[in-house]
Structure 1
Amino acid sequence: MSTTYSNTPEGGTNLTTSVKGRALWAGLALALGVPTLLALYSPKSWFPGAGQTVSVAIGELCFWLLAAALLLTVRFGERSPWSSMGLGKPRWAGLGWGLVAGLALLLLYPLIQGLLKAVGLDPSQMNSLDLKTLPPWMVIGMALRAGIVEEVLFRGYLLERLGTLFGQRQLGALLSLIFFVAVHARSWSAGHLIFVAIAGAFLTGLYLWRRDLWTNILAHTLTDGVGLLALRFAPA
């Protein structure tokens, strides 16, 4: 069940004076601010002498810390259960749908890839990272981080909190999807961003349908795990 917020006491939690309202604003500042800063200023620019593996590890750690901060904000700041962001008890049906959704995205990718290549776009090109220089364990870690942290951030937190803030979950879904695509813009080519937008819309629709973040986490992790490892071990 979503938490109710309002600018007036009669409508729910007062956004300017209540502890829960202040926790909401703090969470939104974290959820919107940290990914924006990491997209604009990559950890590699913080430590110019550090190698790619170190800079990637720092970036991954920042995202894990962000997810932990949001979970703590929801539980102890808002005093809302994690089920308010789709993290209830995992259910076999939800995990099954996550597997089906992940396989569907994996089947969809080559179709989109073929269409994009036909118009001169490469959906597998990265702008700022060479996966082949990273150890396989780190690539797997990146997939786990993407599947868990991005679903907590974009679907579990931003979709739910923006939807509740504006009084319309569909608007929260749209805004979170736009932000999801935007933070990927610096790392990936234009071709891959099209797939990111399609996959993001798919995952957003999946969450709106199931309201089970475990379903999304499994689907996202499976898709990114197979995709990133395929790029890591693809022939030069």
Structure 2
Amino acid sequence: MDTLTDNRRNIILIVGILFAFLYYPLLGHFVFYGQSHTLQMVLYSRLFIWLEVALLFCYARWGEKSRLLLWAEKSNGFWFYPASFAALYLLAIGAGIVSKIPLAFGLHDNQQVVREMAVIVNKNVPLMVFFCLTAGFTEELIFRGYLVPRLEALFKNKTAAVVVSAVMFSLAHYHYFSISETIFTFCLGVVFAIYYQWYRNIKVLIFTHAFIDFVSFVIFGYLQAHHLQR
């Protein structure tokens, strides 16, 4: 009887994990396939990801009979938050450096999709803010808040949960067709998953993720403007 219960629990976990991972790559492909990168498309794609969070919330509540975030948030003192942010941001810079290593050896990287997206987002400040907040909230809720605890429960192994969630996070960004973006998101996924395992604090991850994206867009906008002036 216990075996049947464990098997049913594992099936429920696997269904939720696969849905969380495949929702955008599969359903998003059918919804947005062939569409050019426009302001409307970027906006609709962000709303599409918010829908995934809503669906996962419903699945967790009625399918799993649990919460979206299995791990309760830990309360911490004031200085925990700026210290965590600073450490995570420095590690993100390190991940960015690592992601450029293949390029230093002459490997060609396709940045076209990333540039097209950045150009569109940089033209509209409210969209930029919405884009960054969406990435921070939805991706952290999905890949860290939802997936990491369930992968750990499924594999009964913390390391496997970190690696698999990071691979899923990286593959979810493969639609940019950028090698450096894929490596960066994998490294960031490892760092963020370990942090979430240690400190059980999703708020810091959400803020840091959104800030990383915002700074990236600001830097891109500055470099683009400087290039046009030359």
TM-score (norm 1): 0.76
Q: Residues 35-73 of structure 1: CA distance to partner in whole angstroms, max 9, x if unpaired?
A: 22156456253xx4x761111111111111111222233
For 1:203, the equivalent position in structure 2 comes to 192
For structure 1, which segment, 220-229 or 103-112, has the greater mean C-alpha deviation from structure 2 after superposition? 103-112
Distance 2:14 2:200 in 1: 23
For structure 1, which segment, 130-139 or 147-156, has the greater mean C-alpha deviation from structure 2 after superposition? 130-139
On the 8 A contact 1:86/1:156 being kept in 2, the answer is: no
1:1-236 to structure 2, matched below 5 A, reads: 9=2, 13-16=5-8, 24-37=13-26, 40-41=29-30, 43=32, 45=34, 48=35, 52-85=38-71, 87=73, 92=78, 95-105=81-91, 107-108=93-94, 111-112=97-98, 115=101, 117-120=103-106, 125-127=111-113, 129-134=116-121, 135-235=124-224, 236=227
Task: For residue 76 of structure 1, report the CA deviation from its aligned partner.
Answer: 4.0
More helix by share: 2
SS at match of 2:113: coil
Task: For residue 194 of structure 1, report the CA deviation from its aligned partner.
Answer: 2.1
For 1:5, the equivalent position in structure 2 comes to none
Task: For residue 94 of structure 1, report the CA deviation from its aligned partner.
Answer: 5.0
Unmatched segments (≥5 aa) in structure 2:
none
On the 8 A contact 1:67/1:152 being kept in 2, the answer is: yes
Q: Residues 70-121 of structure 1: CA distance to partner in whole angstroms, max 9, x if unpaired?
A: 2233234323245514556686455334422343145436644765553345
Q: Partner amino acid for 2:145?
A: G
CA 1:107–1:57 in structure 2 vs 1: closer, same or farther (change >3 Å)?
Answer: same
Q: Percentage identity across aligned positions? A: 23
For structure 1, which segment, 212-221 or 75-84, has the greater mean C-alpha deviation from structure 2 after superposition? 75-84
Task: For residue 178 of structure 1, report the CA deviation from its aligned partner.
Answer: 0.8
On the 8 A contact 2:144/2:196 being kept in 1, the answer is: yes
Unmatched segments (≥5 aa) in structure 1:
1-7
Task: For residue 145 of structure 1, report the CA deviation from its aligned partner.
Answer: 1.4
Number of aligned residues: 222
